[in-house]
Each structure stands twice: as C-alpha cells, then as structure tokens.
Amino acid sequence: MKILRMIFLWLMIMAALVYFHDHWVGLSMQPVLEHQLADAFDMPFNIDGLKISLFPPGRITLKKIECLNPGNSDGPSILWEKG
C-alpha cells in the first residue's frame, strides 16, 4: 500500500511539472527576451504572459508585448495584445 501511495505521489508531481512547464520556462526567459529586444531596438520593452510550449516544440505564445519608445511623448504604445 505504501508503494502505491509513493507511485501516486510521483505521478502527481510529474503531472504538475508537465502542466506548469510552459509558464515556468516563460517566466525564466521573459527578462532575457526583454533585454535582447532592448539591445536590438535601443528602447525598453515589457512582455507579459510569455509561455514556451513543451509540446509542440518551439511554440511561443505571449499575451502582450509593449514597446516604451523614449522619443514618443504620447506614452507607451502597445505593439501587440492578445484579446
């Protein structure tokens, strides 16, 4: 009985890791992507809701990417927002 409980616990932990993988990897890569975009375009960026999918590989989704143009007096402009 104790072995079944340990197997069930292991399966639940593995299921949680697979379920939250996209969000955790996205959170860890979000500052890196913001820094790379800031260096490439010479202006600050804000990214919200970045997810990098485990299956299918290479699928990247995000809720919002915001370009904070320092030369624009109208304020920040939202380049793309998922509705």
Domain boundaries in the chain? 22-81
Residue 67 has a pLDDT of 86
pTM beyond 0.75: the answer is no
The residue ranking higher by pLDDT, 34 or 1, is 34
Cβ atoms of 82 and 62 within 8 Å: the answer is: yes
Cβ atoms of 54 and 40 within 8 Å: the answer is: no
The residue ranking higher by pLDDT, 66 or 58, is 66
For the stretch 34-59, pLDDT in tens is: 999 988 888 889 999 999 988 888 89
Residue 72 has a pLDDT of 54
Q: Which tokens go with 65?
A: 């990417």
**Where does residue 61 fall: left (phi above 0), alpha (psi -120 to 50 degrees), or beta otherwise?**
beta
Residue 15 has a pLDDT of 93
Q: How far apart are CA 44 and CA 73, in angstroms?
A: 15
Residue 56 has a pLDDT of 83
